[in-house]
Amino acid sequence: MTGGYDDGYKACPCFWGTSPGSIVVALESRIETFVGLHVLDVGCGEGKNAAYLASKGAIVSAIDVSEFAIANARVAWGNRDGVSFAVQDCAELLLPSESFDIVIAYGLLHCLATEDAVKTTVNRLQAATVTGGFHVICTFNARFQELEAHPEFHPILLPHSFYIDLYKEWEILNATDADLTEVHPHNRISHTHSLTRILARKC
């Protein structure tokens, strides 16, 4: 299991850049202070979101199944206080009940093998979140995908409504289905993904 992005992680030290994702930044309008909050960043990649929340005072556990992602993350952010990086498959993560204030799954869910794995993972992450805590989800969805920039990668493509439904017991603070056009540094192929982004709070 590699997570699907190892070619990129091996080719350059900073595949995803250093700026946090837009809905991670959007948490700032909902949370007065991040100091002391416990954050889990699942599928953290090279750690841009984890490092950002640690810089705000959160205590961040950041895991990724790719050893290459975590190696790059440690070079980029290893000295930052408040963040720890580990190589781990989310399916094997021990998740004590109600233990995190914020869970970030930015780009993780479409990497999983089956619809059932997506559902099980989201349910486990939900159970590990405190009441009143937040989830930040960003994932490819089924509406429109140009995958030629990722020839060996076969993401699972589920409808936007599937993801919304997983959060029907939560308060959905923001949910969008929008296109992202991007170019990766290792092959420079411009391509577009339809992305579901969800910011939700556990009731």
Structure-token pair, residue 85? 């990086």
Residue 24 vs 166, nearer CB to ligand SAM: 24
Residue 1 vs 203, nearer CB to ligand SAM: 1
Q: How far is the CB of 48 from ligand SAM (least distance, A)?
A: 5
Q: How far is the CB of 131 from ligand SAM (least distance, A)?
A: 25
Structure-token pair, residue 69? 């992602």
The angle at the Cα of 117, spanning 82 to 198, to the nearest 5 degrees, equals 55
- The answer to whether 66 and 5 have CB atoms below 8 angstroms apart is yes
Question: 39 - beta bridge partners?
Answer: 60, 102
Residue 64 vs 101, nearer CB to ligand SAM: 64
Residue 75 vs 132, nearer CB to ligand SAM: 75
Q: How far is the CB of 178 from ligand SAM (least distance, A)?
A: 16
Structure-token pair, residue 3? 């997570």
Measured CA to CA, the distance from residue 23 to residue 103 in angstroms comes to 12
Shortest Cβ contact with ligand SAM: which residue? 3
Q: How far is the CB of 19 from ligand SAM (least distance, A)?
A: 10
Cα dist from 11 to 5, 87, 142, 185, 186, whole Å? 10, 19, 28, 8, 6
Residue 91 vs 127, nearer CB to ligand SAM: 91
Q: How far is the CB of 2 from ligand SAM (least distance, A)?
A: 7
- The answer to whether 194 and 151 have CB atoms below 8 angstroms apart is no
Residue 89 vs 148, nearer CB to ligand SAM: 89
Residue 111 DSSP label: G
Q: How far is the CB of 182 from ligand SAM (least distance, A)?
A: 11
Q: Which residues bind ligand SAM (CB under 6 A)?
A: 3-5, 16, 21, 43-45, 48-49, 63-66, 69, 89-91, 106-108, 111
